[in-house]
Amino acid sequence: MEYRFPEGFVWGAATAALQVEGALDADGRGPSVWDVFCREHPERIFGGVTPAVACDHYHRFAEDVRLMKEFGLTGYRLSIAWPRLFPTGDGPLNEAGAAFYHRLFDALTAAGIEPHVTLFHWDLPQALAERGGWENPATVAAFVAYAQTCFRLFGDRVRRWATFNEPSWMILNGWLTGLHPPAWRDPAAAVRVSTAVLGAHARAVRAFREGGHLGAIGIVLNLSPVYPATERPEDATAAQRADGILNRWFRRPVLHGSFPEDIWALYEDCRIAPALTPDDRQALAEARPDFLGVNYYYPHHAVADAAETSFHLNITGDRREDCVFALAGLFRFVKNPTGRYTDWGWEIYPEGLYDLLKNINEERPDLPLFVTENGIGLADRVVDGRVDDQARIAFVREHLQAVHRAIAAGVPVRGYFLWSLLDNFSWLNGYRKRYGLFFVDRLTLRRIPKASAFWYREVARANGF
Ligand code: BG6
């Protein structure tokens, strides 16, 4: 075997509540911002679809856990839907919603699959959004209370907690590009929300420690390395800025409890620097994570000449459409002329994952890392009852090779969670962009293992390939 992984390496797959559960009105669940956004703006979602059914995992979780076991997974990353436990975000616990997660964690425990649980994967209770969302300190308090409830209810079976999934991507799209709810384009608000969310993360970590709960707590960050597109010094500066705004602004407070000085100064110049309370600073300084979850899909290549601010995300899977991301006067991302791209315009660059893991390790040498998401969206099709997704196998193999290289270089990477277990509701991309090990038939919701599922099972069993 050429690539043997360390003993106990977690072979997992990941999902998120809103993307797989469906059953949005079942058993007293309250609406989330995404339920409302999809209902009110079908024109913004490919195919005008909604997450109302998704994979119906809410009713089919037992079958899904059986499949995980049969296909050799040792870990499952999922998120809890806050509005299932607290339909309006705070107030009394919805016991029926909690009962679903009791059933799910019992099934995972019985199957010997370790749950890695994210508390917040973007499905903010709508009622909290209507009261000011993350900018209202009451939302932060409600999040901490919700987190404490989860630790108390599920802590006997869950020992791996992540507070937030990808705050950077959520805030970037919610408050800057306007693509995700609440669909604002307001840089000052984006910065305010970023510190509120990071403060909520820190306070949830504090609550976990003060509660004396067993296990580990961390956060999941989306970290796309940013490379200068040319050797021009101005492009190097642009890359550093982009990296600062998108990555370091989130990574530094999480790893070191303080904000990057260059970006703080930039926000001061733009008069959008946030106001932090002494308790914000203290909570962040104390909230050292036990591990970091890294989501990696693609890198960026930056140039300095950005005359205007513009954003475009390819949600059609039409190769002729390019993704656009430019912030006037700061940076613009360009395509890599020699790069390989998916149909949705995301570059395939496994080396980026190696660079990322290495860099984080240099910054925090002993911090255990998990690749909490990595995968490729394809327009998979069933032919003669089978899904032959060789492109996914190649993608995962190359990225696992990068992980293996990082481990060999001394980086403590403890597990890999493929995005995703199931073809699911891919946010703005609707259902056409498929990521699963298991194909989900949209009419019958039948699960069909793809070629990648059989391949991944062998890798998990052999602990390498
Ligand atoms: C990550 C998210 O940003 O990327 C997942 O945590 C998401 O929820 C995944 O599905 C892939 O992105 P997309 O938009 O192609 O579904």
What would the 3-class secondary structure string for the chain be? Answer: CCCECCCCCEEEEECCHHHHCCCCCHHHCCCEHHHHHHHHCHHHCHHHCCCCCCCCHHHHHHHHHHHHHHCCCCEEEEECCHHHHCCCCCCCCCHHHHHHHHHHHHHHHHHCCEEEEEEECCCCEHHHHHCCHHHCHHHHHHHHHHHHHHHHHHCCCCCEEEEEECHHHHHHHHHHHCCCCCCCCCHHHHHHHHHHHHHHHHHHHHHHHHCCCCCEEEEEEECCCEEECCCCHHHHHHHHHHHHHHHHHHHHHHHHCCCCHHHHHHHHHCCCCCCCCHHHHHHHHHCCCCEEEEECCCCEEEECCCCCCEEECCCCCCCCCCCEEEECCCEEECCCCCCEECCCCCEECHHHHHHHHHHHHHHCCCCCEEEEEECCCECCCCECCECCCHHHHHHHHHHHHHHHHHHHCCCCEEEEEEECCECCCCHHHCCCCECCCEEECCCCCCEEECHHHHHHHHHHHHCEC
Taking CA atoms only, the protein residue closest to ligand 1 atom 7 is 426
Check the annotation: does 455 bind a ligand. no
| Distance between Cα 377 and ligand 1 center (Å) | 9
Mean pLDDT of 42-65: 98
CA of 426 to the centre of ligand 1 (A): 6
Query: pLDDT, tens digit, for every residue of 417-450?
Result: 999 999 999 999 999 999 999 999 999 999 999 9
Please tell me the distance between residue 59's alpha carbon and the centre of ligand 1 in angstroms.
23
pLDDT band, residue 274 (cuts 50/70/90) = very high
Digit-coded pLDDT (tens) for 70-97: 999 999 999 999 999 999 999 999 999 9
Residues with beta carbon inside 6 Å of ligand 1? Answer: 16, 19, 165-166, 169, 222, 295, 373, 377, 419, 426-427, 429, 433
List, by residue number, the catalytic residues: 166, 373
Kindly give the number of the ligand 1 atom that is closest to the alpha carbon of 346: 15
**Which residue's CA is the nearest one to ligand 1's atom 10?**
426
Domains defined for the chain, CATH in brackets: 10-368+401-415 (3.20.20.80)
What pLDDT is recorded for position 49?
A: 98
Q: By alpha-carbon position, which residue is closest to atom 11 of ligand 1? A: 426
121 is in an annotated binding site: yes
The answer to whether 165 is a known ligand-binding residue is yes
CA of 177 to the centre of ligand 1 (A): 16
pLDDT at residue 186 in the model: 98
**pLDDT in the model for residue 342:** 98
Q: Supply the pLDDT for residue 341.
A: 98
Mean pLDDT confidence for 376-394: 98
Annotated binding-site residue? 247: no
> What's residue 376's pLDDT?
99
